Structure 1
Amino acid sequence: MKNGKISESVLKRSVLKQLHTTSDRILFKPAVGEDCAVISMQAGDQTKLVTATQTFTLDVSDKHVRANCAVYDALNNIYAMGAGPIGIELALLVPTTENEAVLRETVRAIDAVCEEAGIVVLGGHTQVSRAVKNIVVTVTAIGEACEQALTPSSAAAPGMDVIVTGYVGLEGTAILANEKRAELETRFSKAFIDKSAAYIDNISTAMEAASAIGAGVAAIHDASQGGIFGALWDMAEASGIGLDIDLKKLPIRQDTIEISEFFDINPYKLLSGGSLIIIAADGTRVLRELEKTGQNAVIVGATTDSNDRVLISGEERRFLETAQTDEIYKVFN
């Protein structure tokens, strides 16, 4: 199989179809596009436990990059579900070639990100293994939400506005600028690379999610692996809707375009932590709320009652493909 997140067909065939145990305490069963588990703790209690798990496997040297991506890739799922995080469970697989000092610095970096996010490390597991060649970080974020505030991907309906916040490909751009600096210096200035590398501190979606939920939304999905194209597909698949998306309206920074061109990758299929897809009946109202806190957001299209997920660029119309392996794995092969 290919490196990275498995394809939708493999997920459905070899993972989801193998899960047969159900529980009336679980609000949403495992499905494409639903990244959180929502659990009822006791009958009649409107407060739900929300969990989400993400694994960061890229072989990066910058511990701050690893920590930010590992923690926020999980937390952003919690924010997108309308929940407030409490803390994380942390699992570390460490190769035998690493020393204790590297482990200590890695944990210290993760703890610093948690402090910034206002959460704690609740527990976890750490193991040294010959099965890995670099540190692998798995984060399970744990939060809580009132049932009425939940914003699952499956709640999107036809005839609604599609909003994208932040900038697509931002997380991948930051990782590449931090980890592939020597290669990028053959074309770009130090100032250009430094600016792109600093985006790693802008991948939390806590503020955007809170502002949007306060304005009234149907569904939110965070864009991470597979980029904005993958996230749009997953959102549509979860809710069984179609999409009409104006490609030219998708918010993207020029340095993301230039760095993607340098590595010959598609920026719309690149790690997009820091960006949310929001589905709302009144997108303009949501934009006003986001603008109050200085958040970048654009209405990029609408949901439809067909099965077609369409990308529009001027007179050209083409179909969105099922979520693909993230482009960053072409660089970190």
Structure 2
Amino acid sequence: MKIGKIPPDVLERLVFNRRGAPRREVLVGPAIGEDAAIIDLGGYYLAIHTDPISGSIKLLGYLAVYVPTNDIAVRGIPPMWLSIALLFPPETDETLLDEVTKQIDLAAREVNVAIVGGHTEVTSAVGRPVAIATAIGVGRRYISTSGAKPGDVVFMTKSAGQETASILATDFENEALKKGINKEVLDRAKELAKAVSVLREALALADLATSMHDPTEGGIANGLAEIAYASGVSIEVDPSKVIVYREVEELCSAFGIDPLETLSSGVLLATLPPDSVQEAEERLKKLGIPYSQIGRVTPVATSL
């Protein structure tokens, strides 16, 4: 199989129909585009999600917190607890472990999440450090990826490809310099690692949005496709409205990467009814978070 996400048809055939015993309290289980499972606790909803982090070494601790907690936040539920497994190759020394756990602690404090368990191991089974994190939260209501309706306006926050740009600027700094990227651009891109959480904007829009999604692997393009697939709709996008920061564009261009199709954690994709757009804009402006209206949800075209 190819590196990357498993194709939807393979997931449906070999993964999603093998989910163990049915439980009536499971309201949302594994499905294309759904960011977190939802469990009915009787008046409360538990959201739970697991993510592997393998694309970065220097930002591993930050991403191990931000990426999985994003998937809880886009449910409109505040993340509360994290369990993280850390796997290191045999050549790892304590310096890297120290840096990773410092990052985890700082990021978890920032998003008000407790680290409640996990596992730390040195193993020959991995060739580079890997984090596997499970995030959990509980709330009174939830939003699914499948809620987008025809007529909804599609919002994005921050910049497409920002996660990839931050990784390129940190883990591949020397290669970027050799490709002609200047230090000022790299410094701005490194700062994007601090904007990978969508917690603030997701919770701010939770009572307005019909669906929200966190585009990670596959980027904005894949994230929009997943919303459309899950909701049974089409999404029309104006590419000129998609935000791509200059530093993201320069780094992605230098490495031959399409910013619309690469890691974009930190971007919130949200669909909103037209009568909620003004309120959403006011809330995002108050938070100081860049945003753009990039498209509209439409019905799926039917052939005659």
Q: Which TM-score tier does this pair reach, normalised by the shorter chain?
A: over 0.9
- The answer to whether the aligner puts 1:102 opposite 2:96 as a matched pair is yes
- In the alignment, the residues of structure 2 paired with residue 276 and residue 155 of structure 1 have an alpha-carbon distance, to the nearest angstrom, of 15
Aligned length: 299
Which residues of structure 1 form unaligned runs of 5+?
Answer: 309-333
* Conserved 8 A contact 2:25-2:39: yes
Q: TM-score, normalised by structure 2?
A: 0.94
Q: Secondary structure, in 3 states, of the residue corresponding to 1:298?
A: strand
Which residues of structure 2 form unaligned runs of 5+?
Answer: none
- In the alignment, the residues of structure 1 paired with residue 68 and residue 29 of structure 2 have an alpha-carbon distance, to the nearest angstrom, of 18
Pairing partner for 1:221 from 213, 218, 231: 213
* Conserved 8 A contact 2:51-2:133: yes
Q: What code does the residue aligned with 1:124 have?
A: G
Q: Deviations over 1:141-171 (max 9, x none)?
A: 1111112xx1111111111111111111111
* Conserved 8 A contact 1:169-1:252: yes
What is aligned with 1:248? 240
- In the alignment, the residues of structure 2 paired with residue 262 and residue 253 of structure 1 have an alpha-carbon distance, to the nearest angstrom, of 14
What is aligned with 1:194? 187
* Conserved 8 A contact 1:240-1:307: no
- In the alignment, the residues of structure 1 paired with residue 172 and residue 94 of structure 2 have an alpha-carbon distance, to the nearest angstrom, of 26
Alpha-carbon offset, residue 20 of structure 1: 5.0
Q: What code does the residue aligned with 2:72 have?
A: I
- In the alignment, the residues of structure 1 paired with residue 56 and residue 299 of structure 2 have an alpha-carbon distance, to the nearest angstrom, of 42
* Conserved 8 A contact 2:181-2:250: no
Q: What code does the residue aligned with 1:24 have?
A: R
Alpha-carbon offset, residue 307 of structure 1: 5.0
What is aligned with 1:143? 137
Pairing partner for 2:43 from 43, 46, 66: 46
What is aligned with 2:12? 12
- The answer to whether the aligner puts 1:204 opposite 2:201 as a matched pair is no
- In the alignment, the residues of structure 2 paired with residue 19 and residue 39 of structure 1 have an alpha-carbon distance, to the nearest angstrom, of 15
- In the alignment, the residues of structure 1 paired with residue 170 and residue 97 of structure 2 have an alpha-carbon distance, to the nearest angstrom, of 20
Alpha-carbon offset, residue 8 of structure 1: 2.1
What is aligned with 1:58? 55
Q: Deviations over 1:237-270 (max 9, x none)?
A: 1111111111111111112111111111111011
Identify which range, 268-277 or 180-189, moves more after superposition: 180-189
Q: CA RMSD in A?
A: 1.6
- In the alignment, the residues of structure 2 paired with residue 86 and residue 284 of structure 1 have an alpha-carbon distance, to the nearest angstrom, of 30
What is aligned with 2:31? 31
Pairing partner for 1:128 from 122, 125, 139: 122
Q: Deviations over 1:73-116 (max 9, x none)?
A: 10111110000111101111222222344334322321221112
- The answer to whether the aligner puts 1:281 opposite 2:273 as a matched pair is yes
* Conserved 8 A contact 1:5-1:225: yes
* Conserved 8 A contact 1:162-1:301: yes
Q: TM-score, normalised by structure 1?
A: 0.86
Q: What code does the residue aligned with 1:293 have?
A: L
Question: What pairs with 1:108-187 in structure 2 (closer than 5 Å)?
Answer: 108-147=102-141, 150-186=142-178, 187=180
Q: Secondary structure, in 3 states, of the residue corresponding to 1:185?
A: helix
Q: Deviations over 1:17-51 (max 9, x none)?
A: 3235321101112100112011122xxx3211111
* Conserved 8 A contact 2:235-2:295: yes
Alpha-carbon offset, residue 188 of structure 1: 2.0
Q: What code does the residue aligned with 2:48 have?
A: T
- In the alignment, the residues of structure 2 paired with residue 162 and residue 254 of structure 1 have an alpha-carbon distance, to the nearest angstrom, of 22
What is aligned with 1:327? none
Q: Secondary structure, in 3 states, of the residue corresponding to 2:159?
A: coil
